[in-house]
Each structure stands twice: as structure tokens, then as C-alpha cells.
Amino acid sequence: MAKRSKARRRALEILFEAEQRDMDPFEVLRVRRERADLIVNEYVLELIDGVKSEQEHIDEILATYARGWTLERMPRVDLMALRIGAWELLCNTEIPDNVAVSEAVALVKELSTDDSPSFVNGLLGRIQVLKPTLVEVDDVE
């Protein structure tokens, strides 16, 4: 598994645990590091920070384009993968759009329900198509 793929999985695990425990993701990471002498890839930190700082905007976009689904109704693993994928699509110019989508799909294929890959692929694919209209004016400068 490539380093960034592993980083995405680790970030998803931390974001998931943080939501389940109602904790800050960086606090979850700190506790994990203390318990296991964990070495953390820099991209894990970038993903967590990016998702955390843009979560309100990302959730608004996901809620708007998830036809027939509310964020509350989505499987939590799917939501974390969607947040990571949406952040990579909309905020990280280093990651090709197709990679962001396929990596999020791979995460849910491994960790979630049988229906999750097509759901995540469809929603992130829709966001990818609409990306030019979703970029905020501040982001263009």
C-alpha cells in the first residue's frame, strides 16, 4: 500500500474515532502516539488539519449534493472518506482529482458496506464535475 493510501486510512481512523468519542482529532492522535509510540506520516496531519479546518464547508457541499441522504444518515466511515476525498478534490492541488475519488472509494470498499463504494464514487464524482463552480473566490486568489 502506498504511503499516501496508508495516510488516508490512518486519517480516516482518527477522524472516525474523534467523532465517536466527541474529541478533537489531534487529541485522539496524541493519545494514540502515547500508547503505541506511533510514527505519523506528515500527510496524515495534513489531511486531519485540512478536513478539520474545512469541515463546515465540506459538509455543506456533501449535504447539498448527496441526493436523498443527510449527513446524519450516512455510515460514519463513508462520511469520513467523503470528507477526506472532498478536501483532496477541493483544497489539495497536489492530488489529481481522479486519485482523490478512487482513494476514497478504495477506503470504503475495504472498511464499509457493499453499497458504499458506488455511493462515495457517485457523490465525489458529482463534486468533481461541479468543482469549478464550488471553488470560493478566496481560493482563486
3-state secondary structure the chain: CCHHHHHHHHHHHHHHHHHHHCCCHHHHHHHHHHHHCCCCCHHHHHHHHHHHHHHHHHHHHHHHHCCCCCCCCCCHHHHHHHHHHHHHHHHCCCCCHHHHHHHHHHHHHHHCCCCHHHHHHHHHHHHHHHHHHHCCHHHHC
Q: Indicate if the pLDDT at residue 1 is higher than 70.
A: no
Write down the pLDDT at residue 39.
Answer: 80
Write down the pLDDT at residue 138.
Answer: 45
Write down the pLDDT at residue 14.
Answer: 97
Entry pTM: 0.93
Band of residue 137 on the pLDDT scale cut at 50, 70, 90: very low
pLDDT in tens, 39-64: 889 999 999 999 999 999 999 999 99
**Domain 1-136 class?**
mainly alpha
Write down the pLDDT at residue 141.
Answer: 40
Span 98-104, average pLDDT: 98
